[in-house]
Structure 1
Amino acid sequence: MPASLIAANATPLPIDAVLPAIVAAFTSAGRVLVVAEPGAGKTTRVPNALLMAQAFTGQCWVVQPRRMAAILTARRVAQERGETCGEVIGYSVRLEERVTAVTRIRYVTDGLLLRRLLADPQLTGIGALVFDEFHERRAAMDVGLAVAKRLQATTRPQLRLAVMSATLDSEKLAQWLDPAPLIAATGRVFPVQVEHDGQLDTRRLEERVATAVRKALQTSADGDVLVFLPGAGEIRRCQEQLAKMALGETLVMPLHGSLPLRDQEAAIAPTALRKVILSTNIAETSLTLPHVVTVIDSGLARTAGFANWSGLDTLHVQPISRASAAQRAGRAGRVRPGTCIRLYTAFDHDHRPAFDTAELARSDVAEHVLALASLPPELQPDGDGFWLTPPPAQAQQSARELLLRLGAVTSHASDGSRLQLTPTGRQMLRWPLPPRWARVVVAGEALGAGHTCATVAALLNERDVRQGEEKSTFAAPHGHSDVLQLLQDFEACRRGAQPRDRGLSRTGYLNAKVAVDQLLGLVQRPDDSKVDTESALGLALLHGFGDRLARRRSAQAADVEMVGGAALRLPAETQVTQAQWMLVLHAEERRDGKTRANWLRVAHGVDPEQIIEVLADEVTTETTLTLEGKRVVQRERTLCGGLQLEARTLQTQPSAQVAALLVQTASASQWRDLLDLEAWAQLAERVRFAKDVAGLTHLPVCDEMFLLQIATDAAQFCTQLGQLQQADLLGLVRAAIDGSRTGGGGLSQLEQAAPETMVLPGGKRLRIVYPVGQPPWTQSRMQDFFGLDDGPKVAFGQVAVVLHLLAPNQRPVQVTTDLAGFWLRHWPAIRRQLCRLYPRHLWPEDPIGAKPPPPGRPR
């Protein structure tokens, strides 16, 4: 191995053996893939070897997923070269930079690379990009590599690219990057014995970790223990659990990205005492932990995601992949044979995915879609081939819809898939913030409250500012904003209050203070003293979070309904105790026993007037009619996203809509409140018979539709059911029947063709029934028909009415259309039989000549 590729005093590392091959591939192909196990030295040796081989011009940017790794690696490389960090070897991360005019290798975070691409898409002065720890598949890393690949293929063919990782789906990446030689190197020098749980352990995670730590310390007399945990909360609980144990002269130290850099450095710095390092997956990356001989792996990581149903970001604890598990285990074999204790079973491990899911495939991509829209057309995505792993179509569509809603982009007129940046979008890109918050600050500046909005944006985009889920000890006087309470507490600390007294984490406060100062440096004008900043903040937040409007279900309800119908619970520590309307600025999904529930974390109360002012295009007005009692009540509702902002009762005026509601209500009750149903049925039967049998085809069809039309016409001047009752629907039906004949007379014709009744010789009036598909009929006692020699006929004398002749007990004796024949042939025998049973009734020998009993008399 040529000595010129490594620093003179550098300790040999496994990667050294393949450095010439890496340099050769990098120089000839312009791209190279490097796969090396943890501890091989790729992060420190490869960029320096490329520099010493003069394999690039200008600067080489080494892109890291985390700021701590970038800083510490730059310091280590400078130290190996015998130089001061910030000279030939430097770094640039959020809020901190060590570079000079002579810097050739710059370690940067992936986010900083994207900011450089926004400012200078051609990457002027950068001759090489090295993407390190690519296996983490962070969204910013994927986007940066995709743009760099396109840049190399178009306007910067001399740009060199290298991709490095300890674990990598190298075949897929090689095909996408082709041509890109793959060079592999061994990593750890010593073997690692891996132990798994024999069976599922249902104890709490901190209890399982404590057991494993005790075992690790007892098994090995020296060496540090590295424990991988999902997040800061789990680290804190494990610290508390380990504090209860007698660990002797052993330090327990946390390591996660929210800690100040000096605390992170302290966690990995060599000490005289043994250490138990409780770390997130930050320790999977390029950090050097030389004294670790035991790794305890929870098998879990906290993973960011995106819920399409609500538009909210999610953060879930999930099992890691097998590749990530191998990365963690490798930390134990750097200095001697080590041990990895996995707090899950071998069966569980074997059934996990081989590699981690790319962040682009599971998270909100709006920030990256906005950034890509600002690039020259030749560098923008033009299909799935642009991506190593394309974001899901639904995520891309959600991002487009959000950016269009924020006014950041417009759709290209000739190509709907390409977005064009608007002036608002360009202003948003000035701010190193997610799109929603960038829009808030842009609106805040326009409203004269840029400082306030920038401060709020910084606070709410900084992790763990609040200490756990504690409330401030100073209650919010307004009771309608978590944001204003946090702002009040932060400003109090800036004036000298202790963070803990204001419910803030000391580390979170210090980090937030730096972030706030950075954003305030970008504000172009101070806040207007004449502006009500609280009101302006609400308006600005509506510009960024208008689609996350929510309404408390009732005055004292502990849950809210969002636009779109999603439900969220309000936690006990919320300051939003009085507001009816609020913007959901942060929410998360939590487990509640065996179920999951969505909890609102940060909200800001807004007034309906503010909503109408900012979201005017989304506010609609609708008029509703409801029947209350027997009266139609008309209300006007103002809605935003389906949620009612306000409502008022109007004076109900007669209208087609009111009429339709009255008639619908009457029809649903079978018309019982408006009609003599029996009379209506009889009339409808007669009309049907007259049309079908008697030939009066001009008569209307008396069905439900006919009745609905009659009632609708009658209801045109009504607002109450009582008024419709007074309209006499049956009379209106009769009028319609009468007018169905030209010149009138329809009822007269109906009476001739299908009379409602017939009058017997004794004066009794009988109803004639007109059943469907059968001849008409009527019935009465035989005595009532005395004096009648023949039965009645209808349909203008064409159809005989069937007579049901009843005995005194009202039971049929004969059913006939031939009354004369009945008197002649059957009456004598019936008379002899029934006169003995009913001697008090009339039984004349000559019924035709006999006088019938008067109406109402029983005999």
Structure 2
Amino acid sequence: MSFPITPLLPAIRDSLSAHPRLVLEAPPGAGKTTQVPLALLAAPWLEGRKIVMLEPRRVAARSAAGFMARQLGEEVGGTVGYRIRFENKVSARTRIEVVTEGILTRMIQDDPLLEGIGALLFDEFHERHLSADLGLALALDVQAQLREDLRIVVMSATLDGERLARFLDAPRLSSEGRSFPVEVSHFPARRDESLEAQARRAVEQALAQHPGDVLVFLPGQREIARVGTALDAASLPADVEVQALHGELPVEQQSRVLQPAPDGRRRVVLATNVAESSVTLPGVRVVIDSGLAREPRFDPVSGFSRLDAVPISQASADQRAGRAGRVAPGVAWRLWPQSQRLEAQRRPEMAQVELAGLALELAAWGSDELRFVDPPPPGALASARELLQRLGALEGGSITAAGRKMLELGTHPRLAAMLLAARGAREQALAADLAALLEARDPLRSRSDALAERWRALAAFRGGRMPADASRSALAAIDAAARQWRRRLRCESTPPAEIEAHELGDLLAHAFPDRIAARHPADPLRYQLANGRMARLFEDSALRGEPWLVATELRFEPRGDALLLRAAPVDEARLRADFSDRFVEEEGAVWDAERRALVARRESRFDRIVLDSRPAGRVDPEQAAQALTNAVRELGLEALPWTEGLRQWQARVACLRGWMPELGLPDLTDEALLASVDAWLRPAFAGKTRLDALSEQELGEALRSPLDWNLRQQVDRLAPVRITVPSGMDRPIEYALEPDGTPRPPVLAVKLQELFGLADTPRIADGRVPLLLHLLSPGASTASRSSAPARATRSRSPAPPPPPRAASRCRSPATCAASGTTPIRKCARR
């Protein structure tokens, strides 16, 4: 069988013989997923070892392994096998192993030498899943330190191959695809029309106007079910069959969708983005695209990364449309307005998910010096490590024995900590239920904030009773996941049919130690959390008056108390037994928000929950510095005595990081500074008991402390505060950042007459960066034009100025205005 990538296979083999890394670009349908591993089996450098290929989804892993096995005339588990979560089809004969991304991380962590493995293939890398980024970083470290002979191939249809090839220092090969023309248009929605109704109209019209099967891209199972229900009520032709395709379907049903209809019937396939790449749906001539996908986003409500329906990227939209042109000319209808603009590429998960799992993997690896395509955000990584300390997975930055056991479970560290804390078979079975409940969508339609009601609905479902406000399919999925967890824990006990009021909370406290909450003594609806924040129940809460709770879901409000959305009661005696080290009584310095100063108190606390507080003696100076630092962490950097000069210095450093990355300047944006206040700010508070005792000069020195003397000199030389103009006067330069954190052109506000004799546009940063000249009227002041300091943070930058014109030699004002080539223009603010 010939594929578009077939002519390129010899070049791929030759490249890997000469170089250990390769970037391979090939569009959908080129055959890279199934042909490249088979083509490398006989490579001399492989020496009979395995090829491990990563697939981002279970559906694709099974499909790719099955297709390759059929090409060899074998069953899956022979030469070609696969491993995914809770499922393993490999044998001693397996030479090509297709795995989902998290499996590779475990393989490398368990065996850094990767004995018996000769090549790692990262398929569909453009999806930029966190586990793929981590897997590649670990693989590069193994290759650099231990296995120079290890081959690494990064494959994708829609990635920035040039950038990735530079990052990997690797050759780059591209394959042509095989596709037919696809006519793309936007299918308009009617006023107030739901996605389901619009999709139904589009399917009906597509079946009437075009031949072949119809592939409908929807964000998730919920939308697939709704559109399926809408199509069941429609008058579709008798020869049309509606099928679903998503990762949670049984293997047999997935396989049936990926094969042509045996009786020649037309099909309407309702799919998530599993059908976007790596799997082929034969017979599709029409694609109907909702323009949405469920992707992980950090959800502060739950403390996990949840799947949210978000707009897809332009690259994904193009890839989806291409599915209509695989067998013949096709059409693609998009269900979003033509005026809507999409991002060019998908953002990496690294930038938008919770990083506790990544932080634990890095601790287990023993190094933070991994090379990531896009490094983890420092603030998110610091928060993740703080959580891991609470969970007992880290101690002093190093992984603990408990942390290693958490990794072995292959789930979020919160859930792993809870599963490991269960005492005996009964609690293990209950913990398995809770893990399944927390990972799944809410099975109840009611707004109740009691987690126990969800568990009781699950228990009723198991007993053959169906609660009126529950989803049968959701409960069935939760029950199946709980069985998998019991199998993973080797728990032979069946789940209990009844529980005490506090049993769920006693376990959940180990998953959410930062969200254990004690009732406020004066308000039965108000609670103080272990992380120091305050939270509030609904007025009609089923949990009203409980002395201790643990919250699994919170809605954080920018001002005031958080809202407790879901929680369970906790037994204080169990808390004191399980968390005895967090019940403390000590004297210390406490931040008094009203007085904006520290006071000495003798406190009885659970973590940061104050159970009792009494006045004590004088404030201890050593404790005061840490307490003031904690106050800044809570209040934000605005509590510090910033000046415009300090904000400009911060912006100068940020600009130089963008212009001259080789300097190695540290990240001093507000986000990074807030994440590292202990390192740079705490020493400045030595001997102080009030925030306002910190002077502007002391703040400036603290801000500069991450830079050694040489780097400070470089900042002053390469990004000067002022510059001398031809008139002999010194004029200030203004620095600022774009909203995305990239530097703007530095601005020099100057009067025209002061520039007479200027031969060329002034430049800074060793001549790399021209100044943007803002022409002031003759009577204007040449003081700094900005009334507020420019901060080196992405979220607070002002609107960008118009782009500068091309530079030219300065002439008279009349000539400049006529030529339109000078960078000098009248400032819009004057």
Q: Distance in 2 between matches of 1:654 and 1:183?
A: 71
Provide the secondary structure at the position in 2 that maps to 1:187.
Answer: coil
Distance 1:81 1:533, change over 3 A: farther
**Structure 1 residues not aligned, in runs of 5+:** 1-9, 412-418, 472-478, 591-596, 625-634, 657-859
Report what 2:705 is aligned to.
none
Report what 2:516 is aligned to.
549
How many Å apart are 1:68 and its aligned residue?
Answer: 1.4
Deviates most, 599-608 or 496-505: 496-505
Distance 1:344 1:448, change over 3 A: closer
1:170-181 map, 5 Å: 170-178=161-169, 180-181=170-171
**Matching residue within 155, 161, 186 for 2:152:** 161
**Matching residue within 61, 67, 73 for 1:76:** 67
Provide the secondary structure at the position in 1 that maps to 2:409.
Answer: coil
How many Å apart are 1:182 and its aligned residue?
Answer: 1.0
Judge conservation of contact 1:548–1:583 (CA < 8 Å) in 2.
yes
Distance 1:442 1:61, change over 3 A: same
Determine if the alignment matches structure 1 residue 145 to structure 2 residue 146. no
Determine if the alignment matches structure 1 residue 95 to structure 2 residue 72. no
Report what 2:319 is aligned to.
327
Q: Give the AA of the match of 1:288.
A: T
Report what 1:240 is aligned to.
229
Distance 1:108 1:432, change over 3 A: same
Report what 2:369 is aligned to.
382
Report what 1:337 is aligned to.
329
Deviates most, 537-546 or 286-295: 537-546
Report what 1:455 is aligned to.
432
How many Å apart are 1:463 and its aligned residue?
Answer: 3.0
**Matching residue within 288, 293, 297 for 1:301:** 293
Provide the secondary structure at the position in 2 that maps to 1:344.
Answer: coil
TM-score, normalised via structure 1 length: 0.62
Report what 1:605 is aligned to.
569
Provide the secondary structure at the position in 2 that maps to 1:469.
Answer: coil
Q: Distance in 2 between matches of 1:571 and 1:427?
A: 41
Q: Distance in 2 between matches of 1:399 and 1:31?
A: 32
Distance 1:600 1:83, change over 3 A: farther
Judge conservation of contact 1:223–1:294 (CA < 8 Å) in 2.
yes
Q: Give the AA of the match of 1:444.
A: A
Judge conservation of contact 1:441–1:453 (CA < 8 Å) in 2.
no
Deviation string 1:779-806 (CA, Å, 9 cap, x unpaired) is xxxxxxxxxxxxxxxxxxxxxxxxxxxx
Provide the secondary structure at the position in 1 that maps to 2:185.
Answer: strand
Q: Percent identity?
A: 37
Deviation string 1:801-822 (CA, Å, 9 cap, x unpaired) is xxxxxxxxxxxxxxxxxxxxxx
1:24-39 map, 5 Å: 24-39=14-29
Q: Distance in 2 between matches of 1:502 and 1:346?
A: 39
Q: Give the AA of the match of 1:463.
A: A
Q: Distance in 2 between matches of 1:52 and 1:498?
A: 58
Judge conservation of contact 1:570–1:600 (CA < 8 Å) in 2.
yes
How many Å apart are 1:89 and its aligned residue?
Answer: 0.9
Distance 1:389 1:579, change over 3 A: same
Q: Give the AA of the match of 1:605.
A: P
Q: Give the AA of the match of 1:522.
A: L
**Matching residue within 358, 363, 368 for 2:358:** 368
How many Å apart are 1:137 and its aligned residue?
Answer: 0.5
Q: Distance in 2 between matches of 1:44 and 1:52?
A: 15
Q: Give the AA of the match of 2:37.
A: P
1:310-459 map, 5 Å: 311-349=303-341, 352-375=342-365, 377=366, 380-382=367-369, 386-411=371-396, 419-445=397-423, 451-459=428-436
Provide the secondary structure at the position in 2 that maps to 1:164.
Answer: strand
Report what 1:842 is aligned to.
none
How many Å apart are 1:331 and its aligned residue?
Answer: 1.0
Judge conservation of contact 1:480–1:605 (CA < 8 Å) in 2.
no
How many Å apart are 1:519 and its aligned residue?
Answer: 4.3
Provide the secondary structure at the position in 1 that maps to 2:408.
Answer: coil
Determine if the alignment matches structure 1 residue 251 to structure 2 residue 241. yes
How many Å apart are 1:197 and its aligned residue?
Answer: 4.9
How many Å apart are 1:97 and its aligned residue?
Answer: 1.6
Distance 1:525 1:280, change over 3 A: closer
Provide the secondary structure at the position in 1 that maps to 2:375.
Answer: coil
Report what 2:483 is aligned to.
516
Report what 1:797 is aligned to.
none
TM-score, normalised via structure 2 length: 0.65
Q: Give the AA of the match of 2:208.
A: Q
Report what 2:678 is aligned to.
none
**Matching residue within 103, 111, 125 for 1:112:** 103
Provide the secondary structure at the position in 1 that maps to 2:332.
Answer: strand
Distance 1:395 1:112, change over 3 A: same
Judge conservation of contact 1:444–1:536 (CA < 8 Å) in 2.
no
Q: Give the AA of the match of 2:570.
A: V
Judge conservation of contact 1:197–1:346 (CA < 8 Å) in 2.
no
How many Å apart are 1:78 and its aligned residue?
Answer: 0.8
Distance 1:193 1:500, change over 3 A: farther
Deviates most, 89-98 or 103-112: 89-98
How many Å apart are 1:118 and its aligned residue?
Answer: 2.7
1:823-842 map, 5 Å: none
Deviation string 1:459-493 (CA, Å, 9 cap, x unpaired) is 235434x546369xxxxxxx9952x5555554565
Q: Give the AA of the match of 1:158.
A: D
Q: Distance in 2 between matches of 1:229 and 1:559?
A: 41
Deviation string 1:223-266 (CA, Å, 9 cap, x unpaired) is 11111111222222222222332112222222222332233333
Q: Distance in 1 between matches of 2:77 and 2:165?
A: 34
1:129-144 map, 5 Å: 129-144=120-135
How many Å apart are 1:170 and its aligned residue?
Answer: 1.2
Provide the secondary structure at the position in 2 that maps to 1:374.
Answer: helix
Judge conservation of contact 1:571–1:599 (CA < 8 Å) in 2.
no
Deviation string 1:164-196 (CA, Å, 9 cap, x unpaired) is 111111122111111x21111122321111112
How many Å apart are 1:53 and its aligned residue?
Answer: 3.6
**Matching residue within 190, 208, 211 for 2:180:** 190
1:467-506 map, 5 Å: 467=443, 469=445, 482=451, 484-490=452-458, 497=464, 503=470, 505-506=472-473
Q: Distance in 2 between matches of 1:174 and 1:182?
A: 6
Report what 1:811 is aligned to.
none
Deviation string 1:697-736 (CA, Å, 9 cap, x unpaired) is xxxxxxxxxxxxxxxxxxxxxxxxxxxxxxxxxxxxxxxx
Deviates most, 51-60 or 98-107: 51-60
How many Å apart are 1:400 and its aligned residue?
Answer: 1.0
Q: Distance in 1 between matches of 2:562 and 2:3?
A: 49
Report what 1:777 is aligned to.
none
Distance 1:527 1:348, change over 3 A: closer
1:641-660 map, 5 Å: none
Judge conservation of contact 1:37–1:330 (CA < 8 Å) in 2.
no
**Matching residue within 58, 61, 65 for 2:52:** 61
Report what 2:675 is aligned to.
none
Q: Distance in 1 between matches of 2:230 and 2:395?
A: 54
How many Å apart are 1:132 and its aligned residue?
Answer: 0.5
Judge conservation of contact 1:200–1:344 (CA < 8 Å) in 2.
no
Q: Give the AA of the match of 2:360.
A: L
Q: Distance in 1 between matches of 2:550 and 2:562?
A: 15
